[in-house]
Amino acid sequence: MKRDSLPATVLEVRGLCKRFTLHLRHGLELPVLHDVSLSVAAGECLALVGPSGQGKSTLMKCLVGSYGADAGQILLHTPQGTVDIAAASAQQVLALRRRDIAWVSQFLRAVPRVSALDVVAERLLEAADPTAPGAELDDETHSSRLEAARETVRVLFARLNLPPALWELPPATFSGGEQQRVNIARGLVRPARLLLLDEPTASLDAANRAVVVELITQAKARGTAVVGIFHDEEVRDAVATRCLTLGVSPSKESHD
């Protein structure tokens, strides 16, 4: 990590290229992202738009460090310095996810036997001790931290209208919209420098969409930089400061 003064820009992508090699199709090359550049400042929300298959989710997966890049940089500016996510080690990516990046994927990856409450509370606990995840705490400290985290999650679940009868159950059997609200709670339960949202409202009714819009607006007001894919135009209009259209070469930004 390089140390430098903290700029208002949180995320800068420069000349990002990503292609997939289809080994089962005789090594066919599928170019998806070509020379994508963007920047997002604290408090802004950049919406990724464009037709299906143009690489919106692929770009998100590059930003969260799940996919490597073939060229270009993904610079995340943090108080600890600037990290190029495109060149970061797996360990650095995990540290960024614990401390700086929150990610709401379209579908929740449910962990068997862990209650909805604890799936979300874990995010708060790992933030409490980001340098030593899983470090042994004495029982009393662990229980009091866990109870405080669960209380924060209960408030958020109530706000997201998740029925209290579900809170202690593992989310594997929840409906699509219920799982999505657990996923949103997981992404938004603690402040992050960069919030990445892949269709966060796709399975929600109007009342719950409005709650999510409120939560995103609050995150922006706290200075979080947001990048999102929102198929729902009403949601996009309510939260996006700018749009980036993928599939136009080079990728173009538009302002409200």
Ligand X SMILES: Nc1ncnc2c1ncn2[C@@H]1O[C@H](COP(=O)(O)OP(=O)(O)OP(=O)(O)O)[C@@H](O)[C@H]1O
Beta-carbon count within 10 A of 208 CB? 20
Residue pair 240/46 in contact (Cβ under 8 Å)? The answer is yes
Q: Which is nearer to ligand X, 54 or 115 (CB)?
A: 54
Q: Which does 28 bind (CB under 5 to 8 A by kind): Mg ion, ligand X, none?
A: none
Amino acid at 18: K
224 binds Mg ion (CB under 5 A): no
20 binds ligand X (CB under 6 A): yes
Helix, coil or strand: residue 61 = helix
Single residue of 55, 65, 171, 187 touching ligand X by CB under 6 A: 55
d(CA 85, CA 18): 14
208 binds Mg ion (CB under 5 A): no
34 binds ligand X (CB under 6 A): no
Single residue of 39, 54, 57, 201 touching Mg ion by CB under 5 A: 57
d(CA 60, CA 49): 12
- Taking CB under 6 A as the binding criterion, the range among 34-42, 46-54, 150-158, 188-196 that sits at the site for ligand X is 46-54
Q: How many CA atoms lie within 13 A of 139 on its CB side?
A: 0
Shortest Å, Cβ 96 to ligand X: 21
Binding residues (CB under 6 A) for ligand X: these are: 20, 30, 32, 52-58
